[in-house]
Amino acid sequence: MKKVVKFGGSSLASARQFKKVGDIIRGDKARRYVVPSAPGKRNDKDEKVTDMLYQCYDAASEGRSYKKILEKIRSRYEEIIEGLDINLSLEHEFANIEENFVNKAGRDYAASRGEYLNGMIMAAYLGYEFIDAAQVIFFDGEGNFEPDTTNQELKERLEHVERAVIPGFYGSKHDGTIKTFSRGGSDVTGSIVAKAIHADMYENWTDVSGFLVADPRVIKNPEVIETITYKELRELAYMGASVLHEDAIFPVRREGIPINIRNTNRPDDKGTLIVESTVRKPRYTITGIAGKKGFCSINIEKAMMNAEVGFGRKVLEVFEHFGISFEHMPSGIDTMTVLVHQSEFEEYEQSVIAGIHRAVEPDFLEMESDLALVAVVGRGMKASRGTAGRIFSALAHARINVKMIDQGSSELNIIIGVKNSDFEASIKAIYDIFVSAEM
C-alpha cells in the first residue's frame, strides 16, 4: 500500500499542529509521501505565511522596508522548529531568500518559499528525504504545467525513495525560475505525486471532516458526504462548494486513485471519499446542495421563434461578442431566457440589448436582476422517482417562488433559480426535506 498525504496550511500552522500531523503519518506505514502547504492561520486573526511572503516580496522588490515582515515570517518557522525540538537551522536559507527578494526573483519564487521551508522542517521532523519540488515538477516557458515530463521525472526520482517530503504549490520552468500553481495549489501537487507513484490513495488532510452536504454558513452543522463521485464534486464545486483545488481532480481521476478528504483535528473521522464511480448508494437521495447569488436573466420573446432556425445562435453570439459566458438557457416555444453573471453583464448591458434587438428583432425583451441559482446534486436522483416533486413542494411550503428550473441531461443535478433574498431559505428547505427528514 502506498499513500500520498497532503496537509493544508491550518494543519501545519504551529508546532502543536505539526505534532498531530506527525502522529497521523506515523500511524500508518503506507503514508510514505508527504506534501505540505505553508503554515496557515493559527486563529481567525492570524496571517497565512504565503500572504506575508507576497507582502514582503512586494516591499523588497519595490525598495520599501521589508525587514520587519521578513522577521515575522522567520519567527513563524523558528517557533515551529523550537516547539518540535529538532536540530535545524534556517539561517542560510533566510539569507538566500532575502538576497533573492531584493534581486527580484519573482512573486512566485517568493510565495513558494512558504512550502519549501515547511517541507524542510517536515522532512527533518519525520526523518524523511526532502525533495525540492523545483527538481521534479515542471512548467513550460508560458507557465503551463507540463504533465508528461513531470510524471516521468517524479516516477524515476521516487522509485528508489521509500519515504519523502515534496513541498506543495510550486515547480520550475526549464530555465530554473520558480512557478507556482494558483492559490491553494498544494492540492494539485499532491495529486500529481499520487499519479506518478500509482498511489492506492491520496489523502488530503485539512480542517474539516470532509465535503459537507451544504454550506455551513447556511445550514448549522451539516452532514458530511461519505462518498462522492468526481462528476458530482465538479457540479458542487462549480456552484461554490470548495474544499479542494479544482485542478487536483484531473491527475488522479483517470488513474482510479481515490481522494480522501480528512480532518487533522479529528483524525478518527472517516472524511469524504472522492471516486470516479461507485456502487455505494448515497446516504440520502441527494449528495449535496450548493449555490451562488448574483445572476440576472434576459428574457426574450418573439412570435414563431420556434420556426426561426438559428435564433438561439444569433442571440448567444451577442453575448459571446462581449465575452460574457452564459450559465443556463431555458426556453419555451416562443421564449428563451439567458442567465448570466450579473457582474459580467452589467458593464455591457445596453450594448447587449441593442445587439439582440439588431440580431433577432424580438417582440419583447425583459431583464430581471438579483437572482440566485441553487444546484441539487446527486447520483441517486436518477434511480429515484419523485425527487423533483419533493424539491418543489418543499420550496412551495417555504413560500419560495421558483424562477427557473433546469435539469442536466445526466440527471445528476437539478438547478433552480430563485430571488437572491430566497437563497438561504431555499437551501434550508431542500436540506430539511432530504437530509433532516431521511436521517
Q: Which stretch binds ligand ASP (CB under 6 A): 180-188, 231-239, 381-389, 390-398?
A: 180-188
Is 168 a binding residue for ligand ASP by CB under 6 A? The answer is yes
Nearer to ligand ASP, 48 or 390 (CB): 48
Q: Answer whether 139's CB lies under 8 Å from 172's CB.
A: yes
Is 387 a binding residue for ligand ASP by CB under 6 A? The answer is no
Interacting residues with ligand ASP between 5 and 24 (CB under 6 A): 9
Nearer to ligand ASP, 244 or 340 (CB): 244
Sketch the per residue contact string, 28 through 47, with ligand ASP: x for CB under 6 A, - otherwise. ---------xx---------
Cβ 24 to ligand ASP shortest distance, Å: 18
Q: How many helices (H) and strands (E) does the chain have?
A: 15, 17
Is 133 a binding residue for ligand ASP by CB under 6 A? The answer is no
Strand order from edge to edge, sheet including 413-419: 326-328, 335-341, 288-301, 364-377, 413-419, 404-407
User: Which amino acid, one-letter code, is at 61?
Assistant: S
Cβ 53 to ligand ASP shortest distance, Å: 9
Q: Which residue is nearest to ligand ASP (CB)?
A: 186
Cβ neighbours for 434, distance < 8 A, ≥ 6 positions apart:
284, 285, 286, 390
Q: Which stretch binds ligand ASP (CB under 6 A): 177-185, 198-206, 324-332, 336-344?
A: 177-185
Cβ 229 to ligand ASP shortest distance, Å: 24
Cβ 402 to ligand ASP shortest distance, Å: 38
Is 183 a binding residue for ligand ASP by CB under 6 A? The answer is yes
Nearer to ligand ASP, 167 or 355 (CB): 167
Q: Which stretch binds ligand ASP (CB under 6 A): 128-136, 181-189, 337-345, 430-438?
A: 181-189
Cβ 112 to ligand ASP shortest distance, Å: 9
3-state secondary structure of 68: helix
User: Which amino acid, one-letter code, is at 184?
Assistant: G
Interacting residues with ligand ASP between 269 and 288 (CB under 6 A): none
Round to whole Å and give the CA distance between 214 and 236. 9
**Grid coordinates belonging to 63:** 525598495
3-state secondary structure of 300: strand
Sketch the per residue contact string, 49 through 88, with ligand ASP: x for CB under 6 A, - otherwise. -x--------------------------------------
Q: Among 119, 185, 251, 291, which residue interacts with ligand ASP (rule: CB under 6 A)?
A: 185
Distances (CA, A) of 342 to 71, 331, 368, 369: 43, 20, 10, 7
Nearer to ligand ASP, 191 or 227 (CB): 191
Cβ 313 to ligand ASP shortest distance, Å: 40
Tell me 345's DSSP state.
H
Nearer to ligand ASP, 111 or 296 (CB): 111
Q: Among 10, 14, 61, 186, which residue interacts with ligand ASP (rule: CB under 6 A)?
A: 186
Round to whole Å and give the CA distance between 326 and 288. 23
Q: Please state the three-class secondary structure of 127-145 as a single string.
A: CCEECCHHHCCEECCCCCE
The beta-strand segments (E) located in 302-423 are 326-328, 335-341, 364-377, 404-407, 413-419
> Could you tell me the sign of the dihedral formed by the alpha carbons of 297, 302, 303, 308, in that order?
negative
Find the Cα–Cα–Cα–Cα dihedral 16, 22, 24, 30, rounded to 10°.
Answer: 170
**Spacing of C-alpha 304 from chain mean position:** 44
Nearer to ligand ASP, 169 or 211 (CB): 169
Q: Which stretch binds ligand ASP (CB under 6 A): 179-187, 263-271, 294-302, 402-410?
A: 179-187
Q: Answer whether 10's CB lies under 8 Å from 41's CB.
A: yes
Positions touching ligand ASP (CB under 6 A) are: 9, 37-38, 48, 50, 114, 168-169, 183-187
